[in-house]
Homo-oligomer: A and B are copies of this chain.
Amino acid sequence: MSKLLTIGSMAFDAIETPFGKIEKTMGGAANYIGISASLFDIEQAVVSVIGDDYPSEYLKVLTDREIDISYIEIVNGGKTFFWSGKYHNDMNTRDTLTTQLNVLEHFSPKIPEYFTDAPYIMLGNLHPQIQLDVLAQLPTRPKLVVLDTMGFWMNHTWDTLLKIIAQVDVITINDEEARQLSNECSLVKAAQKIMQMGVTYVVIKKGEHGALLFHEKDIFFAPALPLEDVFDPTGAGDTFAGGFLGYLAKTDDISFNNMKNAIIYGSTLASFCVEQFGTERMLSLTKDEVLKRLLQFKELTQFEIKIA
């Protein structure tokens, strides 16, 4: 069974959307990624940090999915990372209202020895130095390292960010971040520039407008499933990454053709994530529902062109 190791934040989120408000829910990249990837039969460990205010029923969500949590550091007297945000009416843009790093500020992840040989590594959005430190703990080069990052690190830790980008295989960023990172408006040019920074695959997430996968001269595109309502986009990007990497780990095939499937799986899982607040929908999700929606994706995108 393929091993997937995820390093990322665990958090309390407070979310406000045009549809409602939730004061405190389970959040953070590592949770979304772990839960999403758990839809595949793979071996998972999550490395993160929390305060002792973090409820054990949140941890149980991971252990129920047979995710190894033994290297999630619990800081005595520490407070868990807290994020709050408010979405605008179009659901495409949001304001971050609060970011309290708390215990995340001094996060120094330790990789379980029995996971240092994991072929699949997900570096969730964190300070790029932390991401570098993780790779430095691995005795051999993993098969595939996926990096997530955001604009904040481009503004504040540019040189360190460039170092980690040069050491990973795949970067997942949104369209705005791709433009910022490359200083190119065209996403095609942006992806080319980012590949020149040393990464082999670029995944650009465009939210409701789908996702693009770039590799050398190849491009693959998956739309977002058109939904009647997007209830809460929080975590959709991480859920996408979890589906992408979970599928690759399960199939253990990192060819471009198989990455197309991984993108479709990621998009499928993300389409569920946005249907309810936070992780709610992902927690009730069944494999049968996933299969049905994969077929919807096929219907939505596949054609048999006749030349006229």
* Size class of the A contact interface (CB-based, 8 Å): 35 or more
- A57-78 contacts to B, CB under 8 A, are none
Contact B189 A221 (CB under 8 A): no
Contact of A226 among B40, B219, B228, B306 (CB under 8 A): B219
- A197-248 contacts to B, CB under 8 A, are 206, 209-210, 212, 218-221, 223, 226-230, 247
Q: Which residue of B lies closest to A220 (CB)?
A: B300
Contact A212 B186 (CB under 8 A): no
Chain B residues whose CB sits within 8 angstroms of the CB of A306 once the complex forms: 251, 258, 261
Nearest first, the 8 closest Cβ-Cβ pairs linking A and B are: A209-B209, A260-B303, A250-B308, A221-B223, A188-B228, A188-B226, A221-B300, A247-B308
Contact B229 A186 (CB under 8 A): yes
Chain A interface, >50% SS class? mixed
Report the separation of the CA atoms of residues A210 and B251 in the bound assembly, to the nearest whole angstrom: 30
Contact B301 A305 (CB under 8 A): no
- Closest approach, in angstroms, between the C-beta of A208 and any C-beta of chain B? 8
Q: Would you call A89 an interface residue if the criterion is a C-beta within 8 Å of the partner chain's C-beta atoms? A: yes
Chain B residues whose CB sits within 8 angstroms of the CB of A305 once the complex forms: 261, 264, 294, 297-298
- Closest approach, in angstroms, between the C-beta of A143 and any C-beta of chain B? 16
Q: Would you call A299 an interface residue if the criterion is a C-beta within 8 Å of the partner chain's C-beta atoms? A: yes
Report the separation of the CA atoms of residues A291 and B306 in the bound assembly, to the nearest whole angstrom: 11
Contact B261 A303 (CB under 8 A): yes
- A248-284 contacts to B, CB under 8 A, are 250-251, 257-258, 260-261, 264-265
- Closest approach, in angstroms, between the C-beta of A168 and any C-beta of chain B? 22
Chain B residues whose CB sits within 8 angstroms of the CB of A212 once the complex forms: 226
Contact B188 A210 (CB under 8 A): no
Q: Which residue of B lies closest to A259 (CB)?
A: B303
Contact A40 B308 (CB under 8 A): yes
Query: Can you list 5 residue pairs at the A/B interface with Cβ under 8 Å?
Result: A189-B228, A221-B226, A257-B304, A261-B303, A294-B307
Contact A303 B90 (CB under 8 A): no
Chain B residues whose CB sits within 8 angstroms of the CB of A307 once the complex forms: 291, 294
Report the separation of the CA atoms of residues A304 and B304 in the bound assembly, to the nearest whole angstrom: 13
Q: Would you call A187 an interface residue if the criterion is a C-beta within 8 Å of the partner chain's C-beta atoms? A: yes
User: A209-B210, A291-B307 given. 4 additional CB < 8 A pairs?
Assistant: A220-B301, A221-B223, A264-B305, A294-B307
Q: Would you call A302 an interface residue if the criterion is a C-beta within 8 Å of the partner chain's C-beta atoms? A: yes
Report the separation of the CA atoms of residues A72 and B306 in the bound assembly, to the nearest whole angstrom: 33
Chain B residues whose CB sits within 8 angstroms of the CB of A301 once the complex forms: 220-221, 301-303
Report the separation of the CA atoms of residues A250 and B308 in the bound assembly, to the nearest whole angstrom: 7
Contact A186 B251 (CB under 8 A): no
